[in-house]
Amino acid sequence: MQTYYILAINPGSTSTKIAVFENEAELFSQVVEHDRNELEGFTTVNDQFEFRKKTVIQIIHDHHFDLNQLAVVVGRGGLLPPIHAGGYLINQTMKDLILSGQLSPHAANLGALLAASVAEPLGIPAFIYDAVSSDEMADVARITGFPEIERKSLCHVLNSKAMGRKYASDMGRSYEQVNLIIAHLGGGISISAHKQGRIIDVIADDAGPFSPERSGGIPLLALMELIYEKDYKKAELLKKIRGLGGLKAHLGTGDIRVIEKRILSGDQRAKQVYEAQAYQIAKGIGEMATVLKGDIDGIILTGGMAYSEKLTMMIKEYIAFLGPVKCLPGENEMEALALGGLRLLRREEEPRIFPR
């Protein structure tokens, strides 16, 4: 079997993660946490490019890895216009769109730029894989009560699909043969319905359960009244929705380890809010169960919060009747990127050309 070396790059809001794989085996990985104050010194996310690129190159240098061994570089896909799931060759059209500043600002947008900047001098391909904006949603799921607004397929596609593949493989089946509900429990929470290899509906992080740092869905009339009462500016309100909402707004911290210690010490408010989060997650899973008409091969709890036995047990108490529940904790995004790149190299999947 041919040996391929794959570099995966995953820029997050306050971190840069890289990993190098030899086929399916990880050789090394590293996460660099960036100082928030340093990042706030950049006017836009795109302005962080050179800073992030130096970080990537430094990590590779520190691990004494020869870049010339690489066969491919795979970057995290960001908030591009709706595209298919799977792999896309990073081309100039994609890069120009990201650099234009037209996209919603998100560090993941830098994934394509960073991957291309490493791959192009080496004369090897660069891909994104299972981008955040991957869209396989059923048309009926897009319609809202406002003709001006459509629901969009925005969820933790990369990790969710990777965990779906892993769960199906453990069952002795393929991802395309099973129906799954996957709840990604992280700083933001998304819940998705997977039907025979496609994500047919999602509850995005602004529409469902509140999370450690995000408000989740809010009653519209009450939100509208609050906006007018407090005269919130757009940036201020966005910060309350993403960054200062959820557990952080209620309890002053989004760290569930701290919150669980407070609960153990008798903090009743922390207990109530934490239980409410589990309750809302379970409700979201129940909502996705209707999308699959109850034909569910498994429910997966993944993401960083899925390491919490306390949280996952609370959720399971509500949803166990729907089908088997499996905890596959962690982000798992680096492996997902690398294995996606490996499938593309082996021609098990064909890359798409942006914007198709």
pLDDT in tens, 341-351: 999 999 999 99
- Mean of pLDDT values over 216-236: 95
Q: Do the domains spanning 5-134+334-353 and 158-323 agree at the CATH topology level? A: yes
Q: Which of 279, 316, 321 minimizes the C-alpha distance to 296?
A: 321
Quote the CA–CA distance of 292 and 340 in Å, as a whole number: 26
pLDDT of residue 13: 81
Instruction: Using a pLDDT cut of 70, give the percent of the chain over it.
Output: 100
Whether 157 contacts 333, CB under 8 Å:
no
pLDDT of residue 159: 94
State yes or no: pLDDT of 320 exceeds 90: yes
In this prediction, residue 260 has a pLDDT band, given cuts at 50, 70 and 90, of very high
257, amino acid identity? R
Whether 13 contacts 65, CB under 8 Å:
no
CATH architecture assigned to 158-323? 2-Layer Sandwich (3.30)
State yes or no: pLDDT of 224 exceeds 90: yes
Q: What is the mean pLDDT of the chain?
A: 96
Q: Which of 179, 181, 72 minimizes the C-alpha distance to 129?
A: 72
Partner residues linked to 353 by β-bridges: 89
pLDDT of residue 105: 87
Partner residues linked to 181 by β-bridges: 193, 299
SS3 at position 175: helix
Partner residues linked to 299 by β-bridges: 181, 325
Specify the pTM.
Answer: 0.90
CATH of the structural domain 5-134+334-353, one choice from 1.20.120.790, 3.30.420.40, 3.90.226.10, 3.40.50.800:
3.30.420.40
Instruction: Using a pLDDT cut of 90, give the percent of the chain over it.
Output: 93
262: which residues sit within 8 A by CB, 6+ positions away?
251, 270
Partner residues linked to 184 by β-bridges: 190, 302
**Spans of all domains in the chain:** 5-134+334-353, 158-323
Whether 30 contacts 18, CB under 8 Å:
yes
Q: Which of 67, 69, 68 minimizes the C-alpha distance to 58?
A: 67
Whether 299 contacts 312, CB under 8 Å:
no
| 274 CB neighbour count, 10 Å cutoff | 23
State yes or no: pLDDT of 36 exceeds 90: no
